[in-house]
């Protein structure tokens, strides 16, 4: 590592030591070009000069030296052919357009990189509370499948709409891409909702710099931090996944790697109500099932911070107070079909008393709504996505219905409260489509029994007790579902009573799992052979909203706009204490 020989601030330029040349050099400014900020939202501004050792590097903001502009000095780093400087925890307080121009010199050559930022002013408050429902991986087809199963369709007319389809004050299509790639993962996309900034696959609450340490990348203030800092609101996170998984994690944490789940578990203390799976990240390593690398007992630490703790449905009902931590499984919770209908003890693995997403949502709202400053609650239907990765559309559909009924709980609250914005969207889509229906009434099987066009008679799901969930996930006439992006797998268009993965790894290659459909046909994969599950797509996802501020959502929008719709509705002004 080259020592910095001298660091002078002369005008706008920070002076480094002797230059070393490399053929390809570039300046990277983070946040990236066209980033948008809420005025006063805090972030780290970093300039990296990559590929050569610069002898001069500097930054102007609207023509002014950045140190003068922010009233503080940057942290300067130099290592090999990387030079960087960073202003930690700064904010752009004036609304409008801003230009940041970075310059570096190597020998006689000058490099310049300009970025433009948009700063939007705080708005007048419209809503006291915001509830953001994220159906993980819930594309348009997932919503429609849930509607068909839950509400039915007669002579081509739907027999009812989903709760999420009754949110009709704002409707938009959301573009889910990150800034690195067309197809996002859940961390990256949830991060856009939480911060208003796009990020990269596997990252949350940060822009990506060159540092291999995932916890040091330049941060952007997220919705949890903002609503607490600016208004003292309460925050709740509810999910059916491991609570430290990408979507809930992105509401509180800043890391380049979503896999840092032990770190993320500690960050959960930024929220007041935390309900989901994932005790494996909270239990000390000495306890069976723990995934911690240390002896910290986070459940005890949270209790010491005033959290009531619940480990099952009965415990949740009894967990009162302002702060609750509920962890209802070691990892992801079971899906609705397994938890509430099939109840196969082998599948449940001892967790036989898990609450539903409706119960968790209700409990969270009951607690959070006691704060007169309002609350932000994120509720995730996590396994809509996970079951589509497993190409198990029935399990995914039941979880979509469960997610929808949780939205019903929120709608009921909002109807009485009158000051709550409800937003429902997904973080990305999956490549599923409704091909038609499937039945074997005439003895045909497999693809010959996939009924298209005039043959696609209506499915025979029935919900005789009216709870919204069909009693039988495998009726006489069911849906024929196709997957656009999949590994080699065997398909017989039948429901699987036990979850079974579509493909299994054989060395570096995923091969179709014959246990999935022993008499089914082999469908040749159309994604790289080392991928054993169905994968996300870049398709836009629908957003539906209702309540004060929902009018913000219209047309086609970037995922980052969900954040701006939330802070606009709440009238969050980061400059206010």
Kindly list the catalytic residues.
186
CB count, 10 Å around CB of 178?
23
Q: How far is the CB of 215 from Zn ion (least distance, A)?
A: 23
Q: Is 561 in the site for Zn ion (CB under 5 A)?
A: no
Q: Which is nearer to Zn ion, 28 or 249 (CB)?
A: 249
Chain centre to alpha carbon of residue 488: 28
One of 44, 163, 165, 385 touching Zn ion (CB under 5 A)? 385
Q: How far is the CB of 328 from Zn ion (least distance, A)?
A: 21
Q: Which is nearer to Zn ion, 385 or 491 (CB)?
A: 385
Q: How far is the CB of 103 from Zn ion (least distance, A)?
A: 41
Q: Which is nearer to Zn ion, 385 or 402 (CB)?
A: 385
Q: How many CA atoms lie within 13 A of 111 on its CB side?
A: 26
Alpha helices per DSSP H over 375-465: 383-389, 393-417
Within 8 A by CB and 6+ apart from 459, the residues are 148, 149, 153, 437, 475, 477, 478, 479
Q: How far is the CB of 206 from Zn ion (least distance, A)?
A: 20
CB 49 within 8 A of CB 43: no
Q: Which is nearer to Zn ion, 249 or 310 (CB)?
A: 249
Q: Which is nearer to Zn ion, 260 or 385 (CB)?
A: 385
In this chain, which stretch among 93-101, 175-183, 384-392, 516-524 interacts with Zn ion, using CB under 5 A? 384-392
Asked if the peptide bond before residue 31 counts as cis, ω within 30 degrees of 0, the response is yes
Site size with Zn ion, rule: CB under 5 A: 1
Task: Give kind and range of the element (H or E) at residue 266.
Answer: helix 261-267
Q: How far is the CB of 11 from Zn ion (least distance, A)?
A: 49
Q: How far is the CB of 319 from Zn ion (least distance, A)?
A: 30
Q: How far is the CB of 131 from Zn ion (least distance, A)?
A: 22
Count the residues in the chain. 577
Q: How far is the CB of 410 from Zn ion (least distance, A)?
A: 24
Binding mask 478-497 for Zn ion (x = CB under 5 A): --------------------
CB 332 within 8 A of CB 354: no
The neighbouring-strand residues paired with 59 are 102
In this chain, which stretch among 100-108, 138-146, 338-346, 380-388 interacts with Zn ion, using CB under 5 A? 380-388
CB 351 within 8 A of CB 329: yes
The alpha carbon dihedral of 53, 199, 242, 387 has a sign of negative
CB 150 within 8 A of CB 161: no
Q: How far is the CB of 194 from Zn ion (least distance, A)?
A: 17
In 338-399, the DSSP E strands lie at: 375-381
Q: How far apart are the first and last CA of the chain?
A: 43
Shortest-Cβ-distance residue relative to Zn ion: 385
In this chain, which stretch among 285-293, 367-375, 378-386, 501-509 interacts with Zn ion, using CB under 5 A? 378-386
Interatomic CA distance for residues 348 and 334, integer angstroms: 7
Within 8 A by CB and 6+ apart from 219, the residues are 42, 43, 44, 205, 206, 254
Q: Which is nearer to Zn ion, 165 or 380 (CB)?
A: 380
Degrees to nearest 5, angle at CA 198 with 178 and 137: 55
Burial (CB < 10 A; 0-12, 13-18, 19+), residue 3, is exposed
Interatomic CA distance for residues 564 and 566, integer angstroms: 5
Q: How far is the CB of 425 from Zn ion (least distance, A)?
A: 15
Give SS3 for 238: strand
In this chain, which stretch among 52-60, 210-218, 381-389, 559-567 interacts with Zn ion, using CB under 5 A? 381-389
In this chain, which stretch among 244-252, 338-346, 377-385, 407-415 interacts with Zn ion, using CB under 5 A? 377-385
Which tokens sit at 327?
């962890």
In this chain, which stretch among 160-168, 361-369, 382-390, 516-524 interacts with Zn ion, using CB under 5 A? 382-390
Interatomic CA distance for residues 258 and 560, integer angstroms: 19
Give SS3 for 144: helix
DSSP letter (8 states) at residue 195:
H
Maximum CA pair distance of the chain? 85
> Percent helix, strand and coil across the chain, each rounded to 5?
25, 30, 45
Interatomic CA distance for residues 555 and 172, integer angstroms: 5
In this chain, which stretch among 108-116, 210-218, 304-312, 383-391 interacts with Zn ion, using CB under 5 A? 383-391
In the complex, which residues of this chain contact Zn ion (CB under 5 A)?
385
């Amino acid at each position: 590592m080259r020592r910095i020989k001298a660091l002078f601030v002369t005008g706008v330029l920070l002076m480094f030591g002797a230059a070393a040349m490399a053929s390809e050099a570039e300046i990277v400014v983070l946040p990236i070009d066209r980033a948008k900020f809420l005025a006063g939202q805090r972030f780290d501004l970093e300039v990296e000069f990559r590929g050569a050792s610069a002898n001069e590097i500097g930054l102007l903001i609207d023509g002014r030296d950045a140190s003068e502009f922010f009233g503080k000095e940057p942290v300067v780093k130099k290592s090999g052919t990387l030079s960087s400087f960073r202003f930690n925890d700064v904010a752009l307080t004036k609304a409008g357009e801003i230009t940041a121009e970075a310059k570096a010199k190597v020998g006689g050559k000058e490099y310049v990189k300009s970025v433009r930022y948009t700063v939007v002013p705080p708005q007048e408050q419209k809503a006291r509370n915001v509830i953001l429902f994220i159906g993980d991986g819930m594309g348009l087809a997932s919503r429609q499948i849930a509607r068909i199963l839950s509400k039915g369709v007669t002579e081509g007319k739907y027999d009812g709409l989903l709760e999420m389809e009754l949110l009709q004050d704002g409707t938009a299509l959301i573009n889910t891409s990150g800034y690195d790639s067309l197809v996002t993962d859940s961390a990256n996309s949830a991060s856009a909702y939480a911060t208003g900034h796009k990020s990269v696959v596997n990252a949350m609450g940060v822009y990506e710099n060159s540092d291999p340490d995932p916890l040091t990348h330049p941060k952007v203030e997220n919705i949890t931090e903002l609503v607490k800092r600016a208004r003292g609101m309460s925050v709740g996170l509810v999910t059916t996944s491991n609570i430290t998984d990408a979507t809930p994690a992105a509401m509180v944490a800043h890391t380049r790697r979503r896999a840092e789940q032990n770190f993320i578990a500690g960050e959960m203390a930024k929220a007041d109500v935390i309900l989901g799976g994932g005790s494996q990240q909270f239990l000390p390593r000495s306890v069976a099932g723990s995934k911690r690398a240390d002896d910290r007992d986070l459940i005890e630490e949270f209790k010491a911070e005033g959290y009531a703790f619940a480990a099952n449905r009965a415990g949740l009902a009894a967990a009162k107070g302002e702060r609750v931590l509920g962890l209802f499984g070691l990892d992801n919770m079971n899906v609705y079909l397994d938890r509430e209908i099939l109840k196969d003890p082998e599948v449940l693995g001892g967790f036989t008393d898990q609450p539903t997403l409706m119960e968790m949502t209700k409990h969270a709202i009951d607690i959070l709504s006691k704060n007169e400053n309002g609350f932000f609650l994120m509720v995730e239907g996590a396994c809509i996505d996970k079951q589509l990765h497993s190409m198990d559309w029935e399990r995914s559909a039941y979880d979509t219905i469960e997610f929808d009924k949780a939205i019903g709980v929120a709608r009921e609250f909002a109807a009485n409260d009158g000051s709550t914005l409800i937003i429902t969207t997904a973080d990305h889509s999956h490549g599923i489509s409704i091909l038609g229906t499937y039945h074997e009434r005439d003895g045909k099987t497999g693809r010959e029994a996939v009924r298209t066009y005039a043959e696609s008679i209506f499915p025979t799901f029935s919900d005789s007790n009216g709870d919204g969930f069909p009693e039988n996930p495998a009726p006489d006439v069911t849906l024929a579902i196709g997957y656009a992006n999949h590994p080699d797998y065997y398909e017989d268009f039948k429901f699987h009573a036990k979850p079974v993965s579509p493909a299994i790894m054989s060395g570096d290659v995923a091969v179709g799992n014959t246990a999935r459909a022993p008499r089914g046909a082999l469908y040749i994969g159309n994604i790289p052979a080392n991928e054993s599950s169905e994968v996300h797509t870049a398709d836009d996802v629908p957003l539906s909203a209702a309540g004060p501020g929902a009018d913000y959502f219209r047309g086609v929008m970037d995922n980052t706009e969900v954040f701006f719709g939330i802070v606009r509705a709440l009238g969050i002004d980061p400059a206010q204490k």
